[in-house]
Every structure is written in C-alpha cells, then in structure tokens.
Amino acid sequence: MNAWTKFWSWYENKILGSVILIAIIQFIQVPHMVWNADIMLEAGIVSRVHPVIDWFLYGVDLIEIVSIINVGMIMYSLIKKRQAKKNQITTEIKE
C-alpha cells in the first residue's frame, strides 16, 4: 500500500471529525458576519471598537481555507468510494 492510498484510507475513517471541523469553522463565521455587516453599514457598534478584535474577526476569513480544503477532500473521498462500489458491482455482474 503506497502512502497516497494509506492516507486516503486513514482519512476516510476520520470523515466524521472532518465534518465536525467544518461545522465549527462555519459556526465561527456567525460573529464574523455580524462584524462584517457592521463595517458595511458603518455603524461602529461591533467593528472598530478595538483593533485586536477587528484583527481576529478579519482573520476568520483565513480559517475558511481549511474548510474549503476539507470539503474538497471529503468530496474526493466520497466520489472515490462511489466509483469503487460501481466497479465492484460491474465486476460482480460480469461474473
């Protein structure tokens, strides 16, 4: 078993953890959306209160990269699993 196959085998066993990670990242987006709306409306209730808070809420955008990569990996894993099942079914039919 090569390293690539070994990695995907390990990852497919951890998909629930990946989905939980995505859920957490999406939950973190809620205060970020409120902060972003405050900037767009120029209300200054949440945004521009303290530069450190603004920096953390702006930095949440970078966390989305993890979520995007994770979703791509889950999709690849599920597609690969579905293709393997199709191949197994067609092999069984031919026999």
- Interval 4-16: pLDDT, tens: 989 888 888 888 8
The listed range with the strongest mean pLDDT (38-42, 56-60, 79-83) is 79-83
Task: Kindly report, residue by residue over 64-81, the tens digit of the pLDDT.
Answer: 888 888 888 888 888 888
pLDDT for position 70: 84
Give the torsion through C-alpha atoms of 83, 72, 29, 21, to 10 deg: 70
Residue pair 35/61 in contact (Cβ under 8 Å)? The answer is no
Question: What is the rounded CA–CA span in Å between residue 75 and residue 32?
Answer: 26
**pLDDT surpasses 80 at 57:** no
